[in-house]
Amino acid sequence: MPRPKVLYNVGMTADGKVVTAAGDSRISGEEDLKEVHRLRAEHDAVAVGINTVRKDDPMLNVRLVEGEDPIRVVFDTECSIPLDCRLVRTARDIPTVVLCAEADPGRVEKLEKRGVKVEEVGACEDGVDVERGLELLYDMGVRTLLLEGGPTLAWSFLKRGLIDEFRVAVAPVLVGGSDALTPVEGEGFPRVDLGVGLELKRVERVGRDVVLWYEVSGSAADLASEHEEARGRSS
Ligand SMILES: NC(=O)C1=CN([C@@H]2O[C@H](COP(=O)(O)OP(=O)(O)OC[C@H]3O[C@@H](n4cnc5c(N)ncnc54)[C@H](O)[C@@H]3O)[C@@H](O)[C@H]2O)C=CC1
Ligand SMILES: Nc1nc(O)c(N)c(N[C@@H]2O[C@H](COP(=O)(O)O)[C@@H](O)[C@H]2O)n1
């Protein structure tokens, strides 16, 4: 089934964290944030997991450069997105879609009254069925998706071969913290040779940050089936 092309973008410290153990995720420098807004404007939709909404209360719009706002998408298993978060409060002005596994009709009504489109796409082992969710976005006309995290949702995409490109802005700061999250969390692959291979396409200095832009090497579908086979062989 066709799905949108997915770019996963994060801001990371030089020691590999996307948020401190205490919850501060203001990592990218000013110039990179402008680039992120450019990327938002170039994509049909931008997606995050519900924890990112809870922790950051993001806007996910285009405001640091000129450009159109993308559709904002939240992967929210139980449709628990707070009614007073900024995404919901601005859903009448910027298209906002909540993809959930299942939803209470009363909750759906409250969200839809506020302009949010709620789609029940069913569940997978991690939460919302991501493959079905991407197919549905494709049916809605979304051809390009900017995945902005967080790392738990990113693992769910990655292990299914659903990330095509990875862009990381490395900030010149070390924060430590064994509980501080990295760009991809979840169970992880058991061996390095089972990991998703990347090909470096570009390195650039953006303000004080260094941006690394990778393509997933090989087709995502091939990688997903290779990983399945290899995981079968290793267990
Ligand atoms: N530095 C950066 O660029 C970024 C940092 N962050 C930080 O990451 C943190 C949030 O990340 P996480 O805790 O990893 O949460 P997350 O934002 O990835 O959300 C995970 C939650 O989404 C729901 N979900 C629904 N369907 C799912 C699926 N198929 N797979 C996985 N989860 C699914 C589940 O309830 C799950 O607990 C925040 O502290 C935020 O500040 C987030 C984005 C970018
Ligand atoms: N690229 C990048 N660098 C960082 O340092 C970040 N903290 C993030 N965070 C992502 O952007 C969202 C905030 O968006 P708004 O400024 O509110 O529009 C945040 O929730 C993360 O998804 N990204």
CATH number for 64? 3.40.430.10
What is the per-residue pLDDT across 97-137, written as a single tens digit (0 to 9) for each? 999 999 999 999 999 999 999 999 999 999 999 999 999 99
- Residue 229 is predicted with a pLDDT of 72
Q: Are 23 and 111 in contact (CB under 8 A)?
A: no
Q: Are 160 and 8 in contact (CB under 8 A)?
A: no
- Residue 170 confidence (pLDDT) above 70: yes
Range of the domain at 164: 5-234
Count other Cβ atoms within 10 Å, centred on residue 179: 9
Among 39, 50, 53, 60, which is best to mutate for testing ligand 2, by the most ligand atoms less than 8 A from CB?
Answer: 60
What is the per-residue pLDDT across 185-229, written as a single tens digit (0 to 9) for each? 999 999 999 999 999 999 999 999 999 999 999 655 555 666 667
- Residue 163 is predicted with a pLDDT of 98
Whole-angstrom Cα distance, residue 82 to residue 111?
9
* Ligand 1 mean position, distance from CA 74 (Å): 10
Tell me which residue of 10, 34, 26 sits closest to 168, measured CA to CA. 10
Q: Are 171 and 208 in contact (CB under 8 A)?
A: yes
Mean pLDDT of the chain: 95
Length of the chain: 235
* Ligand 2 mean position, distance from CA 182 (Å): 14
Whether pTM > 0.90 for this model: the answer is yes
Domain count, the chain: 1
